[in-house]
Amino acid sequence: MSSTSRAAVLGSPIAHSLSPVLHRAAYAELGLDDWSYDRFEVDEAGLPGFVAGLDDSWAGLSLTMPLKRAVIPLLDEISDTAASVEAVNTVVFTEDGRRVGDNTDIPGLVAALRERGVEKVESAAILGAGATASSALAALARICAGPVTAYVRGEARAEEMRGWGERLGVDVRTAQWGSAAEAFASPLVIATTPAGATDDLAPAVSGTPGTLFDVLYHPWPTPLAAAWSERGGTVLGGLDLLVHQAVLQVEQMTGRSPAPLAAMRAAGERALGER
C-alpha cells in the first residue's frame, strides 16, 4: 500500500462541489497530513477508464451526478442501502483491492434530521420526484410511521414515485404540483427540487410550520426556507445533508471515527460565505 492516501469527488459538472472543502477539513482535524482529496470532471463515458487507472494509493471516491448509477457495474459489491435506490455516492477501495459501493446520502439525511431532534414523524411530504427524491423516500422509510405524499409534475413522475414507494416499503401517495402548498401541513417536508422551483410557494407558508429540509445549499436561504424560518419552523438545508453524508464518507475511507462534524460544517459555511 502506498504511504500516501488519495480520495476525490467525481462528476460532471464538478467545479461547484464543496466535497474537497469538507474532506480536507476532516483530514486536517484528524491529523491525516498524508491524505489528499481532489475533484475531477468525469462523465459517464470517462468513468470506467478513470477507475481502471487508479493505483493502490487511492482510498476512496465520492460520486455525484451523473455517476451514481453508472459506477455500479464497476464495483465488486454494493451495500443494501445503495441497492435500495440503485445509487452509489461512495466507493471504498479495500486493502485486498476490492471496490465497495455505498450510499451515505440516505443515512446522512436521517442523521441531519436527528441532530435537529426529528427522529420519528407520523407523516411527511416530498416536493419533487428526481434522484434525490428516491433517497429522501429511503430515509423516510426509516423514520416515518405513516404515509408520504409526493407532489410532482405529471403522471409519469407520480407513477415513478409510487414505484419507489413499493420498492422501499413506504406508503406513497401522489398529488399534482399545483397543490404543493398543501404539503406545508405535514410535520416534515423535504424539498428535492432544483433552484427556483419552490420560490412561488413561499407566500403560502402560514401558521407555525413543522420541519423543512430543503436540499439546496446555494443560493441560501431559498425563499421557501426564509419564509419557513420567519414563521418559526425548523429549517435544514443542503449543507446539513452534505456535511452529514461526508462525515460517513470520511469514516469509511479513513477508518477513523467519529469524523469531525463541527470542523467540517464550519469549513463548509466559510466556503459558502465566500461565494
Per-residue model confidence (pLDDT) at position 2: 52
Q: Known catalytic residue: 68?
A: yes
Per-residue model confidence (pLDDT) at position 1: 43
- Show me where the domains of the chain are located: 5-103+245-273, 107-236
CATH fold match for the domains 5-103+245-273 and 107-236: yes
| The three grid cell numbers given for residue 52, joined into one nine-digit string | 481502471
Spatial distance between the Cα atoms of 150 and 159, rounded to a whole number of angstroms: 11
Spatial distance between the Cα atoms of 177 and 96, rounded to a whole number of angstroms: 49
Contact 4, 34 (CB under 8 A): yes
Choosing from 23, 39, 68, 265, which is the catalytic residue?
68
State residue 224 phi and psi, 5-degree precision: -65, -45
Q: What is the pTM of this model?
A: 0.95
CATH 3.30.450.20 fits 107-236, yes or no: no
Spatial distance between the Cα atoms of 256 and 236, rounded to a whole number of angstroms: 27
Spatial distance between the Cα atoms of 91 and 252, rounded to a whole number of angstroms: 9
> β-pairing, 90-93 with 58-63?
antiparallel
Task: Give CA separation, 202 vs 198, 217, 226, 230, 233, in Å.
Answer: 7, 17, 8, 11, 13
Mean pLDDT by 10 residues, the chain (275 residues): 83 96 98 98 98 97 96 98 97 96 98 98 96 95 98 96 96 98 98 96 96 94 98 97 98 98 98 91
What class does CATH assign to 5-103+245-273? alpha beta
Spatial distance between the Cα atoms of 239 and 99, rounded to a whole number of angstroms: 28
